[in-house]
Structure 1
Amino acid sequence: MLPRFLGLRRRPWPVYLFDLDNTLYDANVHCFPQMHRYMHAYLQEKFGLERAAAEALRQQYWRRYGTTLAGLMRHHDTDPHEFLQAIHPPALAATVPADLHLDRWLASLDGPAYIFTNSVTAHAERVLARLQVTRHFLGIFDLSAAALRGKPDVHAYRSLLRRYRVAALRCHFFDDSRANLRTARLLGMRTTWIHPRRRQPGQLAKLPPACRKSLGGAR
């Protein structure tokens, strides 16, 4: 079946890009605590660190480089695929609940939607399945697709635009990270910030109806 937005129209349809964790669902509750434990265990095993030191190293690299992995690759020549596999086991998405409000809201969008994530495709697929919104997304652009240079590195955004053959000016990007949105705006994308600490179930679905056509959300 053809996507609902295909057909005759006077201008190209918009393209919607969605971060995954803490944008489509509350990862602070359903994902990040477990992921951080997996990261700490990995760092403790690889470098012989105490838990507190492992947590400090994770936060240091995340703040400085945008992802913990970027810091590990830069300073420790860490195998990225081993690390990503270690922190994204199948059980990570097990507590993510279905979101029927999100499902209906995504169905109202007037253009194609893609996932743009610093995680891995397998994790994104499991989360979308748990949310019951897989059908709304035409693709998943993950960290490997960006040659391991994730958001907010501009390389990731340009690689995504090339992959899907779209212009930045047609894109509207949703993310919980201001740094990630800043890069998107510099390229000409429209953006909406999803506040990570004030997030509520169905938050995206509570955006005003006008967003479904022009999505002139907060920049």
Structure 2
Amino acid sequence: MTSIDRLPTIDDFAHVTEWVFDMDNTLYPHRVNLFSQIDRNMTAFVADLLQMEPADAKLLQKQYYRDHGTTLKGLMVHHGIDPNDFLQKAHAIDYNVIPPDPALGDAIKALPGRKFIFTNGTVVHAQMAARALGILDHFDDIFDIVAADYVPKPAGATYDKFASLNRVDTRHAAMFEDLPRNLTVPKALGMKTVLLVPQNFEYEFAEAWEQSEDGNADIDFVTEDLAGFLRRLVLSA
């Protein structure tokens, strides 16, 4: 995998005018562990829907996540659920666990060009998390799973729809993500790619299938400090 020690320079991002950020475990750090709340809610939804024991529901939930990109998509395909009901219940969480990050806000605000949140969650979820961080006002738009017609990243069609809807020239864009597999398409589209990892580069938190199989082919940079990474781009300019 690309070295976490390699720092960006002005030349690496001088062409970038479109800044695209995933939300969960990207704009807020992995250590916040907000997704654990969502994960519990999704397991409870599956258990209630299919009258399963929690342990069995969790296994099925993860299977749908692996096979379809999101638990939601799997439940829609196999059980015809109402996606709005699922999303509302999945995101019924406590956002107060996210601490404000004024340094990140300053760094995003200083970036030249437009800034977007591109998430497999909902607009409301992204707004709540970004508001807790204190960065919501720095973004031009949020592209969510509803706008994607419930087809999640890493589907190529979803990236194409995001770019078309927002008139993003991907050759002048950068994508920030916490899952390697979600950077394959952006790289192919000509975007600069940055992988967010937990502090100390601990990767055991992710399931093996979430890792890229070809090492660093789709990843230009790796960082555990998004604010510091972005601040370097601004200071380099």
Structure 1 position 77 matched with structure 2 position 75:
no
Question: 1:204 is matched with which residue?
Answer: 226
Question: 1:33 is matched with which residue?
Answer: 36
TM-score w.r.t. structure 2 length? Answer: 0.78
TM-score w.r.t. structure 1 length? Answer: 0.85
Q: Deviations over 1:97-126 (max 9, x none)?
A: 101121121122111100000000111111
Q: How does 1:1-219 map to 2 (within 5 A)?
A: 14-27=17-30, 29-89=32-92, 91-196=93-198, 198=200, 203-207=225-229, 210-212=232-234
Deviation at 1:168, TM superposition (A): 1.2
Task: Give the aligned CA root-mean-square deviation in angstroms.
Answer: 2.4
Q: Deviations over 1:87-106 (max 9, x none)?
A: 012x3323111011211211
Deviation at 1:30, TM superposition (A): 4.0
Residues 207, 13 of structure 1: alpha-carbon distance in 2 compared, 3 angstrom cutoff: closer
Deviation at 1:64, TM superposition (A): 2.0
What SS does the aligned partner of 1:183 have?
A: helix
Count of aligned pairs: 203
One-letter identity of the residue aligned with 1:19: D
What SS does the aligned partner of 2:147 have?
A: coil
> d(CA) in 2 for partners of 1:35 and 1:28?
15
Structure 2 residue runs without a partner (length 5+): 1-13, 203-223
One-letter identity of the residue aligned with 2:226: L
> d(CA) in 2 for partners of 1:65 and 1:214?
40
What SS does the aligned partner of 1:207 have?
A: helix
Structure 1 residue runs without a partner (length 5+): 1-10
One-letter identity of the residue aligned with 2:105: D
Contact 2:115/2:138 (<8 A) preserved: yes
> d(CA) in 2 for partners of 1:152 and 1:112?
22
Contact 1:15/1:111 (<8 A) preserved: yes
> d(CA) in 1 for partners of 2:84 and 2:31?
24
Kindly indicate whether structure 1 or structure 2 has the higher relative contact order, using CA contacts under 8 Å at least 6 residues apart.
2
Contact 2:107/2:230 (<8 A) preserved: no
Contact 2:76/2:83 (<8 A) preserved: yes
> d(CA) in 1 for partners of 2:236 and 2:84?
38
